[in-house]
Structure 1
């Protein structure tokens, strides 16, 4: 069976802009106007809070965020507070779970597998978190975050994998609401020299395609084509 995926590589995009694009694509996917679509991007420094609005896990006042050049946004995804920023590979899948016969739990497991596979390419042993610990971990340090939204069987939001972000940004939050756990990156954990970030983001896409069993992939390079 032919499983089609369109991949949009859109570079560094403001969080709000990416959110609007996801909403439009999710609506189009629901109306069967488009096929499954994957957005591959990075964000400027941004803290996001999930629908439970656990802003108490932000440890500094809003005014300090501005001086750091970071933004704070409330979203409708699941999960707790997290950070997005430069040198972090982000994937937002806009896909129909019904079409590929997946429930929410299996979907999240496949997102975890995508990041675990990527880490393994660099000799880094990552695994899914324990109960109540979402995302992907290297021992007790988080290397990849997951926060998803599913509406009418269509997904949005997704995963963020730490290639080499400034980990100091994570000191200002309790990442995902889990106290006493550190955050790490591929750069810190890998014993090998990393290639250009575009290469790692490309590999993350490949791992996603493999995890979800797509066999017909169309690449679209940037916004200008939309």
Structure 2
């Protein structure tokens, strides 16, 4: 995939565990900053506490339990403006939210989504897991008929937010309460379940996904910013009220 001229840099913000609402508000702020040229292309690399999210189609029927019961599961629900259907985010799932200018890197929406799929497929292959893209009818990344990675993006005036969720070793029981991504009668799996080798710490897999994205989109060098460097932005985003 072709990028812009010259050597580009992708900032990787390693944020640890972030509440979904805080991450959502942070993305909104960063998209505005990216559009105005105040920040470069960047990707947020994080995990969420147990959270269910719905896309802009509002397919509430794919949530299989009453919304009032989610607190008893230790989970929250958010309705978002991303594409895709209902999904789950939780500990030991790698979540990447790229904030990119697709015009600057010369990509359309379809090739961008294919690049997100490619990054997850490449990382799975590092652990001997043969994954595949789902195609138009079954978006995301699959190992056979088992889904290992979900994609839900929002693209506004050529700028991206939301992104991908790659299952390292989350509690798969949470997926029993939804029709994951609106696809019935298919299992959800994880890298831990599929790999025949011991996995490294989650942070390593996060880093591998970020590097794969940078390579796929020809974004050049990765400049890492850890949560201590991003603390002010996260804190200020958390205080913003809708």
TM more than 0.5 = yes
Check conservation: 2:16, 2:46, Cα contact below 8 A.
yes
1:116 Cα deviation (Å)? Answer: 0.2
- Is 1:187–2:162 an aligned residue pair? no
- TM-score when normalising by structure 2: 0.92
- Is 1:43–2:51 an aligned residue pair? no
**SS where residue 56 of structure 2 aligns?**
coil
Structure 2, unpaired ranges of 5+: 1-5, 234-242
Counterpart of 1:119?
Answer: 124
**SS where residue 217 of structure 1 aligns?**
strand
**SS where residue 119 of structure 1 aligns?**
helix
1:210 Cα deviation (Å)? Answer: 1.2
**SS where residue 111 of structure 2 aligns?**
helix
Return 102-111 or 55-64, whichever deviates more. 55-64
Question: Which of 19, 26, 31 lines up with 2:31 in the alignment?
Answer: 26
1:130 Cα deviation (Å)? Answer: 3.6
Counterpart of 1:134?
Answer: 139
Counterpart of 2:231?
Answer: 224
- TM-score when normalising by structure 1: 0.98
Deviation string, structure 1 residues 166-218 (Cα, Å, up to 9, x no partner): 00000000001011000000000000011111111111111111111121221
* Partner Cα distance (1:47, 1:25) in 2: 23
**SS where residue 63 of structure 1 aligns?**
helix
Runs of 4+ deviating beyond 6 Å: none
Deviation string, structure 1 residues 32-68 (Cα, Å, up to 9, x no partner): 1111010000000000000000010000011221101
Counterpart of 1:57?
Answer: 62
* Residues 37-186 of structure 1: pairs in structure 2 closer than 5 A: 37-186=42-191
Structure 1, unpaired ranges of 5+: none
1:225 Cα deviation (Å)? Answer: 5.8
Counterpart of 1:201?
Answer: 206
* Partner Cα distance (2:126, 2:49) in 1: 26
**SS where residue 70 of structure 2 aligns?**
helix
* Partner Cα distance (1:189, 1:200) in 2: 15
CA distance change for structure 1 residues 65 and 23 in 2, over 3 Å: closer, same or farther? same
Deviation string, structure 1 residues 143-179 (Cα, Å, up to 9, x no partner): 0000000001000000000000000000000001011
How many residues were matched structurally?
Answer: 226
* Partner Cα distance (1:91, 1:224) in 2: 18
